[in-house]
Amino acid sequence: MEEREGPDGTLYVALDEAERGQKGPFLVAYASPARENRWGYFCSNCETFDNAMDSMGRVQCNVCSNYKKPDEWDAAHE
């Protein structure tokens, strides 16, 4: 776990939990080092917590546009 300053205070980035992004992995961030409360994602490409996630599991960085494809995909959603 790596300690980082986030928008709400100290966050803990799990270096062993990642989702593949097009420009770099999105690392899972927690509110505590015990991994009890998952906070969101950390973009490893531009090193920011400023990301957005939709209901299909897509994650996009609002700074560098790093993008993770949805977990589930259905042509009807396009």
pLDDT digits (tens, 9 = 90+) for 63-72: 999 999 887 6
Count other C-beta atoms under 10 Å from residue 19's C-beta: 15
What pLDDT is stored for residue 72 in this prediction?
66
pLDDT digits (tens, 9 = 90+) for 2-29: 999 999 899 999 999 999 999 999 999 9
Measured in degrees and rounded to the nearest 5, phi and psi for residue 19 equal: -115, 135
Q: What is the pTM of this model?
A: 0.85
pLDDT digits (tens, 9 = 90+) for 35-78: 999 999 999 999 999 999 988 889 999 999 999 988 766 555 55
- Sign, CA dihedral 74-39-63-52, equals positive
